[in-house]
Structure 1
């Protein structure tokens, strides 16, 4: 098997680099920052034979299929809830998050959708009291945000607070029974 890896690793690495560079070059720099990609670079491919190219395409497809069907050992699959288009119900969606601090990572996934042009969060902290099952989500509004929590519409409040509450209480592995929202340690009153 290690003999096979000796030949596959350079081939796979080349295929992955070529694939990433073609995708990355089409992203604008701001999109690259959001995706966590390095600045655009030009990568020159070395000459390869047709057989090597065909093999790398087959292997790239196999790797892509394997990574989409099986989560990494460093991730866990959780269910997050986002509002539907009518703001009447919360729709479940399965996502993979880091298994290290999975509660924090899950809250981050839910909050990705909440920033708008005039309402921005600067950060958040999550703590869970294992004795009573209460999670406290401390939200921080960005200093330049034009709007505050009290100015959110009922739909926006449902999308922010309802999504977080349902996501945290519905994932039974965390044993969260209740969610409390604060802003810099003070309860949020709406």
Structure 2
């Protein structure tokens, strides 16, 4: 009777250990290997402390590309900035990561958030409406293809508070893949910024091309 009980306990323990090991086998990959859209909101830059700040956030991304968890891994030393970084990490939009066999798998990576000292930050209040929109959209672009001669013009319709009502390509770049990326970047740039009167124009066009934010 004793030997049978011991065998049974050994089997249960082995199964438990095996399950725990399987749950911990999530692969870590560099953030560059997972195209993700994430950025600090421009409106927050002027509210931050004057010094340079840098935070690292560890994120868990499921097989569908959705961020399931975000935890601060390296603090900037400023609580407000760290909270902002974690919040924006949770809002990231990512593509599924594919293994060598082409299967989408869950992964972990680090998002880095950094700002320069206040004297080098852009003065958001003095930017033109077009510059605000361009900077916002560029931060949402996911593209690792060719960069030359790709220009897609998109017609945008918004409510006065920046809510995106529609976005339509009115002039193609000639590259359907880039056109789709440009349109997606605009669609993920909600809310749109306001103009000098504090309201977002109801109708405007933006020409999107590859390049850094």
**Pair in the same fold by TM > 0.5:** no
Select the structure that is richer in strand: 2
Greater relative contact order (Cα < 8 A, sep 6+): 2
Short-chain TM bin: under 0.3
Select the structure that is richer in helix: 1
Q: TM-score if structure 1 supplies the norm length?
A: 0.28
